[in-house]
Structure 1
Amino acid sequence: MRVLVTGAGGFVGRALVQQLASQTGYFTVAAVRRLPLPVAGTFGALPDGVTQWVELGDLADAEPPPRLFEGVDVVVHCAARVHVMHETTADPIAAFRAVNLDGTLKLARAAVRSGVRRFVFLSSIKVHGEATPCGNPFTADTPLSPADPYAISKMEAERALMALATETGLEVVIVRPPLVYGPGVKANFNSMMKWLSRGIPLPLGAIRNRRSLVSLDNLVDFLMVCLDHPNAAGQAFLVNDGEDLSTTELLHRLAEALGKPARLVPVRSSLLVGAGALLGKRAVMQRICGSLQVDIEKSRLLLGWVPPVSVGSALASTAAAFVAEHSARAYRA
């Protein structure tokens, strides 16, 4: 099977390319925005003849070159304009739509013209909304209710792809992950590990929310199933680790994985959200204190999929990579 992975230099795309390269029966076309890409230290040595690197260009501007899809059976579209914490663009929704909607549809139409059979689209749980009542998780059939430009653009891309599938017969598979973590994770998850490793006291010792996460290994395993499972075509799926955690539980288990004490001060969630509002960080504190759960029963029933990697194992590998990276930096310094 010949698989085209877009966003192959990103967090998820990189891991998927590595998994494909480690198995027989796959020829992987790894598409990145620009070449040359400094991947040697990140990817390691990939087997000769397994992975072909190609330059995709900017999805918002360039037409995908037809040669990109030569012999390709499945496209896994991981490239995107991702959620931006500090937006500087004058028209954010237009910027997100240019890449995540227009660029995705342009890519999918080009794939159809070249005879690609299946298009796996990496979307986001945010198309359903930002939070769930505790114990009332999102399902794949929960109505879509995106709350920010990023999520709106993902929802619109999903709908455009499904319309294209009806028009052309392209097998579209939509995957909506929650927060993804694993070795090399950045952003807020990396910040949590920094706080814990430094022993910084955190006022997060009494949060009783429930949040679903998905490890990079579990997400990649799910994407591998979606490449050719007959029941995946035309469906949208949610994915997680099979175990929900409160923010407090996550910090305790992450600290244990790091070999550090968790210095968590018990403060009521209502006080934290109120303090966040005063500091202009209401949305951040609502994410920390609120619940966001996803139900993966559809993935189990239709695809027979269960998460192969436990939360404990995934946190351990994430923490080990964090420690190794910071030890290496300290050595170089």
Structure 2
Amino acid sequence: MRIVVTGATGNIGSALVRRLRAEGTHHLVGLARRLPDGPDSRGVDWRSVDLSTEACRETLVEAFDGADAVVHLAWGFQPSHDLTYLAELGIGGTRRVLRAVAGTGVPHLVHMSSVGAYSPKKDDRPVDESWPTGGVPSSRYSRHKAAAERLLDRHEASGTGTLVTRLRPGIVGQRAAGSALLRYGVPAFVPAGALGLLPVLPMDRRLTIPMVHTDDVAEAIAAVLHQRAGGPFNLAADTPVTAAVIADALGARLVHVPSAVVRAAMSAAWHARLQQVDTGWLDMGFALPMLDTARARTELGWAPGKDGPEVFAEVVEGMKEAASGRTPVLRPRTVLGALGAAIRRGPAAVRRRP
């Protein structure tokens, strides 16, 4: 198959490229803003593209022409203070991909949605794919994922004939994303090893989030491509990640602090540019439902290889060791390098990516 992957150098994209390349039977086209070199660049037809601008149209059309499937993974998390850019990349980028898919007659589109697209839960029972995708209003990420789902709705209703698959995983993690997560969520002056020195974790003990390993998501995408399976699929490990699991992975003692108090402190630090994670992520963590993955298991034959706490522990170890991959997105992170970038271009939460 000729398969085009947007966001092919990211957390999920790098794992998917590795998974599909191992089959040795596909013509892979990787789209990313910053392209890899070295071993990870081999066996893939790489194209540089910025989905946040209309200038990407020609590259998308050229790349999609003759494709058997397009896997749309590209998304943005920073700069968290630049909502316009994040919307242009996430929502606008999805709109541009859909236009190119329609214009070139791509027969199968696999879109990486998220548990973040779902509306707030009513209780702790897992929900299936019929749960509303209205998003969490106070979370920018969630609103954008829900908006992308509406674009998919309109695309399907237009009668283009494209088979659309929507994957809605929980929080996706792997060890190699450690450096990237440090850049996204930890101030530049904090060394990776400091994560192991946290004596207490002030957090609301009610926090529970679904999680899944990056390789397990890549396996689900491969199954969808091979089976040409359409529609939505939830993806999550059997056991969710709780506040107690987080504290245990960090080697810290959990101290219950109501979410409203944590939110106020988090908001103040974000507005003061002391840390780059906005409060919408906290709100989403408490609002989103657990996921019923019966459809993926039954129709795709999919099962997670790692449990939620196991995935989170791997992620934390990766962050402590500043683990990295071989793509620009997953590049190594050092304190000196992070401070240098902050001095030259400002904090991660406000600077536009080069």
TM beyond 0.5:
yes
Write out per-residue CA displacement over residues 237-265 of structure 1, whole angstroms, 9 at most, x where no aligned residue: 2111121131212331x24xxxxxx2214
Match of 2:217 in 1: 219
- The answer for the alignment partner of 2:94 in structure 1 is 104
1:121 matched to which residue of 2? 111
User: For residue 292 of structure 2, what is the aligned residue in structure 1?
Assistant: 295
Which structure has more relative contact order (CA 8 Å, sep 6+)? It is 2
Correspondence list, 1:253-264, <5 A: 254-255=249-250, 262-264=251-253
CA deviation after TM superposition for structure 1 residue 108, in Å: 2.4
Among 235, 239, 248, the residue aligned to 1:239: 235
- Distance change in 2, residues 1:16/1:57 (3 Å): same
Structure 1 residues 318, 251: CA separation in 2 closer, same or farther (over 3 Å shift)? same
Q: Aligned AA for 1:74?
A: A
Residue 233 of structure 2 aligns to which amino acid in structure 1? F
Q: Does 1:153 align with 2:140?
A: no
CA contact (8 A) 2:142 2:284 kept: no
Q: Give the match's secondary structure for 2:156.
A: helix
CA root-mean-square deviation:
3.4
Alignment of 1:1-333 (within 5 A): 1-34=1-34, 37-40=35-38, 44-45=39-40, 47=42, 50-62=43-55, 63-65=57-59, 66-80=61-75, 82-84=76-78, 86-89=80-83, 92=84, 95-129=85-119, 131-146=120-135, 147=137, 148-166=139-157, 167-183=159-175, 184-185=177-178, 186-187=180-181, 196-204=195-203, 207-230=205-228, 232-233=229-230, 235-252=231-248, 254-255=249-250, 262-267=251-256, 269-270=257-258, 272-274=259-261, 276-277=263-264, 280=267, 286=283, 292-311=289-308, 314-315=311-312, 317-319=314-316, 321-322=318-319, 324-325=321-322
Cα deviation, residue 152, structure 1: 2.9
Percentage of pairs with the same residue: 22
Contact 2:194–2:320 (Cα < 8 Å) also in 1: no
Secondary structure in structure 2 of the residue aligned to 1:266: strand
- Give the letter for the 2:121 counterpart: T
Distance 1:286 1:227, change over 3 A: same
Indicate if the aligned counterparts of 1:134 and 1:210 stay in contact, CA closer than 8 A.
Answer: no
User: CA-to-partner distance for each residue in 1:176-195, whole Å, 9 max, x for gaps?
Assistant: 22221112244479759755
- How far has the Cα of 1:70 moved from its partner? 3.8
Q: What is the alpha-carbon distance in structure 1 between the residues aligned to residue 223 and residue 235 of structure 2?
A: 12
Relative to structure 1, the CA distance from residue 79 to residue 140 in structure 2 (aligned partners, 3 Å threshold; closer, same or farther) is: same
Q: Distance in 2 between matches of 1:283 and 1:296?
A: 25
Compared CA separation, residues 53 and 307, structure 1 to 2 (3 A): same
Give the conservation status (yes or no) of the 8 Å contact 2:111–2:166.
Answer: yes
Q: Distance in 2 between matches of 1:329 and 1:168?
A: 43
Residue matched to 1:259: none
| 1:50-100 deviation digits (Å, cap 9, x = unpaired) | 3111122344322133321243111000112x24473135xx4xx444333
For 1:20-55, what per-residue CA distance to the aligned partner results, in whole angstroms no more than 9, with x for missing partners? 112222221011124xx3443xxx3455xx311112
Residue 226 of structure 2 aligns to a residue whose secondary structure is: coil
Give the letter for the 1:144 counterpart: T
Deviation at 1:224?
1.3
Per-residue deviation, 1:229: 1.9
- Deviation readout 1:132-157 (Å, 9 max, x if unpaired): 35522332111122224443333232
- After TM superposition, give the deviation of residue 213 of structure 1 in Å: 0.8
Report if the CA contact (8 A) 2:193-2:320 is conserved. Answer: no
What is the CA distance between 1:227 and its match in structure 2?
A: 1.3
Residue pair 2:108, 2:164 contacting (<8 A) in 1 also? yes
Distance in structure 2 (CA, Å) of the matches to 1:314 and 1:279: 25
Structure 1 segments unaligned to the other structure (5+ residues):
256-261
Inter-CA distance 326–200: structure 2 relative to 1 (3 Å threshold): farther
Q: Residues of 1 paired with 2:62 and 2:107: CA distance?
A: 16
How many residue pairs get aligned? The number is 307
